[in-house]
Amino acid sequence: MGEEEVKQEEKEIKEKPKEKFKLSFDYFNESRLGIFALIIGIIVAIFPGLPAFIKGIGMMIVLLWGADSVRKTARYGLGTGVPSIGVLAMGFGIVGGITGIAVASLSFGTLVVGGVEIAFGVLAGVALLALLGFVSGNLANGDKFINMKIPGLERGMTELGIAGTLAVLIETSIISGTYAITNVLPNAINNGVIAVIFIISAFAMLQPLNTCLGADERRGRTLLMSIEIGGIASIILGLVTTLTLSAVQGVPLIVLGAVVWVVFYRAYMKACLEEAYAVKGTGLIKTLGG
Amino acid sequence: MEPIVMLFAWMLIIAFLAFIACMFEDLESDIGSQSNPNSQIQLAPEMGYIHRYFNKAISGEGLSYALSCTISGTIAMLILLQLESVGPTAALLAIPVGAAVGSLVHMVRSSVCHVGREAAHKRFEQPIYLDVLYGHLLPIATHNFLAVICITAIAYIQSNLGILSGVAGASNPFPLPLLCLIWGLTVGAIGSSTGDIHYGTERAFQDKPFGEGRRVVYHGQICRYGACGTRTSKDVAAFCAKYGGPATGLAFGLIVLFENWRTVIGMTLGGVAGPGWNPSLAAAWGIGIGIVIAVVLVILARTIEKWARNKYGPFVGE
């Protein structure tokens, strides 16, 4: 008996550090993450003069929030609809982003205080899409209209609208360095970079839940992947920025993306392999009789 | 050579590339299970059927191909901009490098899918087989590379068609990455709608009665014991390369061929940018020929369906 107890104690000691290692987002629950990402996203979005490196971090936080909103909206058994929600968010985002950039490039849209550009105009796009998302969520969920009865759809759609818009705004400002439409059009839209902005941000939002979907899905694990895709997005945007702006802006972004990708890809794979029922090198499937 | 002949030649090349692209797209989506078949692979452990399929739930095929093709197009565009002084030969470097990066991203995305979905099946006692995980990544990347390189080449040809064929104004006004996005979505959509049916009947459900939809009681009962359960999803590529892949490629290739064919004939009848150039006449001829092609296809499809019903018996439940 004594030996067994000692063994059990040893087991407990061995198991404890494993649990500590688990990367989780327990402090940043859904509301806290939303508020945090909204504040960071707006600060990064209205200062287009920030270095691309910092904008890259802001972009990852906003994409993380978007992924969390997709999870919030789609986890009640939407199944095959998960990718559509992510694409919807970026559809919102493109509309809101273009609106915000258009307002910011008007004379009253951007203030210059002591040489620092503050583009308040982009908030018009954010506000418009928050409203549009709320209205469409209500239309889909309201008793008088489609009546889908998905819990939290109104909030989810509002957050998706804001997160999508902020993602497009930040990524556009990474590439063109300013919101002046004369700069944005040749650098981000006419050369088609808007397509890669659209698809990779959509993936950062839709793929985490779509890929981790299942009975034992865990929020901490799901969100790790969103940051990992944010790393890939940073690498690609860094390559584009090196050409459109300068290597001084682009190379740190590429390095940031590479480091983030390696760290979070490892963390995600480790978390999945540890939490799976079993990890086998190879083997036959167990037959129906046992 | 006459510009219109060159234009038609380039369009035939586009149709051929579309055939190859969609064939490899379908085979790639069959290695592992994407879009429609994935729902059954996902259901199987929940119904108690532990399996050794690769669960590749990146997203629908359309979106995942849009991702790899758009990244490929963006990288190719960046290289083309850097090597502008070299001229059109820069495409020989830009397109393969772009496609390599695109398929690398696709491979990374599919590697996270399998572990993510199987880890979420913990309570159904579905283990993660490491040989399934590692063994599938290379076939996925290589098949994806062939599909993406063809799509990027199509987008490149389209956006430079005016220079390549000598017909002024034939170039597509859209930039390369945007064309890649549109073509990627299209190739994924066709591969999903046409190819998945072949995948399902040829591999996942080999005992399917003629014409029957999958009944709810049979959900998740996928074929798991092919060659004593040692076979994995990558063998499906060899399985579906016989009929499903080429049929899917043919579907997409024919769509592109007919679409381009009617446009070129319409342009010829409208006087191809010469002194008698009449755009509205060209458009009218193009639309007219398109309607004729559609009617012929509908009649053909109906004839084949009738023949199949007569030969293989009535649908179950009729």
For B286-310, how does the pLDDT look when each residue is reduced to its tens digit (9 = 90+)? 899 999 999 999 999 999 989 988 8
Confidence of residue A84 (pLDDT cuts 50, 70, 90): confident
Q: Does B178 contact A at CB distance below 8 Å? A: yes
**Using an 8 Å Cβ cutoff, are A261 and A224 in contact?**
no
What's the sign of the alpha-carbon dihedral A92, A95, A101, A105?
Answer: negative
Band of the pLDDT at B217, cuts 50, 70, 90? low
Our CA-based measurement puts residue B71 at a distance from the nearest CA of chain A, in whole angstroms, of 6
B116 touching chain A per CB within 8 A: yes
Domain count, chain B: 1
Strands A279-280 and B128-129, by their bridges, are: parallel
Establish if A143 belongs to a structural domain.
Answer: yes
Does the pLDDT at position A40 exceed 90?
yes
Of A83, A211, A243, the CB nearest to B60: A83
Size of interface A-B (CB pairs under 8 A): 170
Reply yes or no on whether the pLDDT at A19 is more than 60: no
Q: Is A44 helix (H, G, I), strand (E, B) or coil?
A: helix
Q: Which residue has the higher pLDDT, A2 or B286?
A: B286
pLDDT of residue A1: 46
Q: pLDDT digits over B179-192, tens only? A: 999 999 999 999 88
Classify the phi-psi angles of B48: left when phi > 0, otherwise alpha if psi is within -120 to 50, otherwise beta: left
Q: How many domains does chain A have?
A: 1
| pLDDT score of B213 more than 80 | no
Mean pLDDT to the nearest integer, A178-191 = 89
For A179-242, the DSSP string reads --HHHHIIIIITTSHHHHHHHHHHHHHHHHHHHH-STT--HHHHHHHHHHHHHHHHHHHHHHHH
A30-34, A221-225, B14-18, B136-140: which has the minimum mean pLDDT? Answer: A30-34
Task: Show which of residues 262-281 on chain B sit within 8 Å of chain A, judged by CB atoms.
Answer: none
B 18-57 → A contacts, CB under 8 A: 39, 42, 46, 50-52, 57
What's the average model confidence in pLDDT over A138-157? 80
pLDDT for the residue B13: 94
Partners of B108 on chain A (C-beta within 8 Å) are 232, 265
Above 80 in pLDDT, residue B224? no
Q: Which residues of A touch B63 (CB under 8 A)?
A: 83, 87, 199, 202-203, 206
* Contacts A199 to B, Cβ<8 Å: 63, 66-67, 70, 181
- Dig out the tokens for B37 from the structure: 């078949």
Q: In the predicted model, what is the mean pLDDT of residues A109-124?
A: 85
Please say if the pLDDT value at position B75 is more than 90.
yes
Task: Calculate the alpha carbon distances from A261 to A223, A256, B24, B117 in Å.
Answer: 13, 8, 28, 20
- What's residue B155's pLDDT? 94
The pLDDT confidence band at residue A7, using thresholds 50, 70 and 90, is: low
Residue A12 pLDDT exceeds 70: no
A83 and B59 in contact by Cβ < 8 A? yes
Angle at B145 between CA B143 and CA B147, to 5 degrees: 75
Q: Which two tokens stand for residue A251?
A: 């190379």
pLDDT exceeds cutoff 80 at B130: yes
The pLDDT assigned to B152 comes to 95
Segment A3-25 mean pLDDT: 53
As to burial, measured by CB atoms within 10 angstroms (0-12 exposed, 13-18 middle, 19+ buried), residue A279 is middle
The structure's pTM equals 0.89
Taking the CA of residue A67 and the nearest CA in chain B, the distance in Å comes to: 14
A149 has a pLDDT exceeding 80? no
Instruction: Let me know if residue B312 belongs to a domain.
Output: no
When pLDDT is cut at 50, 70 and 90, the band that residue A8 belongs to is low
* pLDDT at residue number A29: 80
**Chain B CB contacts of A194 below 8 Å:** 178
Taking residues B161-180, what's their average pLDDT?
85
Domain boundaries, position B75: 3-258
Q: Is residue B278 part of a domain?
A: no
Q: What would the two tokens of residue B209 be? A: 């009665």
Nearest chain B Cα distance for residue A210, angstroms: 7
Task: Report the alpha-carbon distance of residue B245 to residue B237 in Å, rounded.
Answer: 8
- Span A262-277, pLDDT tens digits: 999 999 999 999 999 8
Cβ atoms of residues A204 and A238 within 8 Å: no
Instruction: Say if B210 falls within a structural domain.
Output: yes
Long-range contact pairs involving A78-84 (C-beta distance under 8 Å, separation at least 24): A78/A150, A79/A213, A79/B39, A80/B39, A80/B60, A82/A206, A82/A209, A82/A210, A82/A213, A82/B59, A83/A206, A83/A210, A83/B59, A83/B60, A83/B63
Per-residue pLDDT, B23: 93
pLDDT for B228 = 46
Residue A220 domain-assigned (yes or no): yes
Higher pLDDT, B113 or B279: B113
Give me the pLDDT at residue B226, please: 64
CA A1 to chain centre: 52
- What is the rounded distance in angstroms from the CA atom of residue A218 to the CA atom of residue A235? 27
CB contact under 8 A, A282 and B60: no
Q: Is B230 at the interface with chain A, CB within 8 A?
A: yes
**Chain A interface disruption, residue of B78, B113, B186, most A CBs within 10 A:** B78
Q: Is B134 near chain A, with CB under 8 Å? A: no
Predicted confidence at residue B214, as pLDDT, reads 62
Q: Which domain holds residue A106?
A: 27-275
In a domain, A172, yes or no: yes
In a domain, B187, yes or no: yes
A259-273, A274-288, B163-177: least confidently modelled range: A274-288
Interchain contact, A216 vs B122, CB within 8 Å: yes
- Let me know if residue A231 belongs to a domain: yes
| B119/A212 Cβ within 8 A | yes
More confident call, B120 vs A7: B120
- Under DSSP, the state recorded for A280 is E
Q: Does B239 fall in a domain?
A: yes
* B67 band by pLDDT with thresholds 50, 70 and 90: very high
Residue A149, both tokens: 């009865």
Instruction: Select the residue of A196, A203, A272 nearest B116 (Cβ to Cβ).
Output: A272
Average pLDDT value for chain A: 85
Supply the pLDDT for residue A289. 43
- Quick: pLDDT tens for A43-55: 999 998 889 999 9
* pLDDT score at B163: 84
Look at residue A96 in the predicted model and tell me its pLDDT: 93
* Prediction ipTM score: 0.87
Q: What percentage of chain B carries pLDDT values higher than 90?
A: 41
Furthest-apart CA atoms within chain A: distance in Å? 81
Contact B58 A207 (CB under 8 A): yes
Average pLDDT over residues A65-72: 90
**Residue B283, in any domain of the structure:** no
The answer, for B59 touching chain A at a CB cutoff of 8 Å, is yes
Q: Which of A254-258, B38-42, B87-91 has the highest mean pLDDT?
A: A254-258
Identity of the amino acid at B79? I
Whether B151 has its CB under 8 Å from any CB of chain A: the answer is no
CA distance B169 to chain A (A): 18
Three-state secondary structure string covering chain B = CCHHHHHHHHHHHHHHHHHHHHHHHHHHHHCCECCHHHHHHHHHHHCCCCCCCCECCCCCHHHHHHHHHHHHHHHHHHHHHHCHHHCHHHHHHHHHHHHHHHHHHHHHHHHHHHHHHHHCCHHHCCCEEHHHHHHHHHHHHHHHHHHHHHHHHHHHHHHCHHHHHCCCCCCCCCCHHHHHHHHHHHHHHHHHHHHHHHHHHHHHCCCCCCCCCCCHHHCCCCCCCHHHHCCCCCHHHHHHCCCHHHHHHHHHHHHHHHHHHHHHHHHHHCCCCCCCCCHHHHHHHHHHHHHHHHHHHHHHHHHHHHHHHHHHCCCCCC
